[in-house]
Amino acid sequence: MPTGKTELTIITESGRCSWARCIFCSFSKKPYLPEPDFNRLKHQLDAKLTRQFDTLKYLNSGSFLDQNQIPKDFQKYLIQKCLDLGIKQLIIESRPDHITPANLKLLKDANKNQKLKIYFALGLETSDNETLKKISKGFTTTDYQNAAALLKKQGFYIRTYLMANLPYTKDIQKSLDDSVNFAQKHTDTIAIINTYPYGYAPLFYMWLKKTWRPLDKSEFNTLVKKHRANKKIDIYYDDYISYPRFKNQTPLVGATKENLNNPIYDLWQDYIVRFYEKPEIKKYALFLPCAYRKPYSFSKTHKQIIRHLKSLPFYANLHHLMISNPGIIPREFETKYPFAHYDWPEWEETPGIKKQYLKTTEDRIQNYLKTHKYEKLFAYFKP
Ligand code: SF4
């Protein structure tokens, strides 16, 4: 296991990954990323790394050895700082194409006595070359093998990242098991990650189009079960799980079928039902209507409801859940897109749409309550 007793993870943004095309990756596709700059990186590192840790993970979404991301003088500074502080293990990441004898020389020279164990995190993701091509990984298993062999020869260590449930995979169990078997021949440790994309990643749009979807906790646990006992493997279910973020934030207006079962709403409901964990303190559900004014809590009706409820001794235990055409919306998401950017003009409703609205809403409430348990359910009805 590479991780020691104490561990610090620093995630930094510095330049853009030289590849930036993997379909599951959002970081590399952000419209703005700061230029690589020694002083900024040093300042950030000095502020975060102030004492000894057994392990430092320094992750820059791309390649530490790529000078267009991490300048050479900072590469040297980081190694020296780790040595000065007595850090035992450093984990940095790289694509195989940046792993060359010339690029490794600086790290070798700076760590002459090998007091610091330097692990290279290689994002192999899968051992299937066809899938690597389809997810636009930009290298093959042979490139990975060559990079791993060079790293070993030069005295470095290897941590291989594999992604569970990649798209274009017929049998995700077989794919993961094969990938683990393959990687074990070349690596010191393995990290298995649950694939979960964000708004800038093409894979996020596959989720939106319902051609792929991420695994929830129980599905993921079943998939990785047989690998849990392997001491060389670390398993991460929720490191990347967060609420859905959309690049385009166009307002969704109209009482139409499209605005009832809009893929954006369906994706949110999928997230809310399968990934969202309600705050523990919220023991009682309170279903509330939506409001024209957004966010809802700025509306006259919600202001009055909140003012009255606040005097209740169990107010903190009430979980406000808005029911509207986008679905069930916990209060904490009311400012997120699209919940503050839509309108459903009731006067546009046809009898057919009304019927469909009722059925869709009934299904959504049932789905929500299947996974989120409350001691009591309350509902507010307009007088
Ligand atoms: S996953 Fe890594 S290699 Fe692929 S685009 Fe993102 S940062 Fe670059």
Distances (CA, A) of 324 to 264, 342, 376: 14, 10, 21
**Mutate-to-test residue for ligand 1 from 14, 18, 22, highest number of ligand atoms within 8 A of CB:** 22
Q: Are residues 135 and 280 located together in one domain of the fold?
A: no
The complex scores an ipTM of: 0.99
Residues with CB under 6 A from ligand 1: 17, 19-22, 25, 27-28, 61-62, 95, 123
- Residue 127, classed as helix, strand or coil, is coil
Pair (325, 202) in one structural domain: no
What pLDDT, on a 0 to 100 scale, did the predictor assign at position 381? Answer: 80
Are 72 and 166 in the same domain?
Answer: yes
CA of 17 to the centre of ligand 1 (A): 6
Do 222 and 264 share a domain, yes or no?
A: no
Does 271 share its domain with 166? Answer: no
Distance 69 CA to ligand 1 centre (A): 12
Q: Which residues contact 157 (CB under 8 A, 6 or more apart)?
A: 2, 117, 118, 119, 120, 151, 188, 189
Identify the three-state secondary structure at position 383: coil
Look at residue 5 in the predicted model and tell me its pLDDT.
Answer: 83
225 CB neighbour count, 10 Å cutoff: 11
CB 290 within 8 A of CB 334: no
Which domain CATH number covers 166?
3.20.20.70
DSSP assignment string, 243-270: ----S----EESSSHHHHS-HHHHHHHH
Which of 203, 236, 269 terminates a domain? The answer is 236
Same domain, 232 and 256: no
Give me the residues paired with residue 379 across strands: 287
The answer as to whether 242 is a domain residue is no
CATH classification of the domain holding 343: 3.40.50.10630
For residue 247, tell me if it sits in a domain.
no
138 CA to centre of ligand 1 in angstroms: 9
- Interval between CA 53 and ligand 1 midpoint (Å): 27
Give the residue from 221, 119, 136 showing the smallest Cα distance to 176. Answer: 221
The domain total for the chain is 2
**244 occurs within a structural domain:** no
Q: For residue 250, how many C-alpha atoms fall within 13 Å in the half-sphere facing its CB?
A: 7
Q: Is the separation of the CB atoms in 378 and 284 below 8 Å? A: yes
- Assess whether 178 and 325 both reside in one domain: no
* Shortest-distance Cα residue to atom 7 of ligand 1: 62
By residue count, the chain amounts to 383
Closest CA to 279 of 333, 360, 215, 209: 333
Strands 89-93 and 318-324: unpaired
Compute the distance from residue 19 Cα to the ligand 1 centre, in Å. Answer: 6
* Distance from C-alpha of 189 to C-alpha of 179, rounded to nearest angstrom: 13
Task: Output the tens digit of pLDDT for each of the chain's 383 residues.
Answer: 544 489 999 999 999 999 999 999 998 999 899 999 999 999 999 999 999 999 999 999 999 999 999 999 999 999 999 999 999 999 999 999 999 999 999 999 999 988 999 999 999 999 999 999 999 999 999 999 999 999 999 999 999 999 999 999 999 999 999 999 999 999 999 999 999 998 889 999 999 999 999 999 999 999 999 999 999 999 999 888 999 999 889 999 999 999 999 999 999 999 999 999 999 999 999 999 999 999 999 999 999 999 999 999 999 999 999 999 999 999 999 999 999 999 999 999 999 999 999 999 999 999 999 999 999 999 998 77
Q: Which domain holds residue 138?
A: 7-236
The answer to whether residues 85 and 209 belong to one domain is yes
Centroid of chain to Cα 97:
25
pLDDT the model gives residue 207: 97
141 and 52 both lie in a single domain: yes
Same domain, 231 and 371: no
Quick one: pLDDT at residue 4?
47
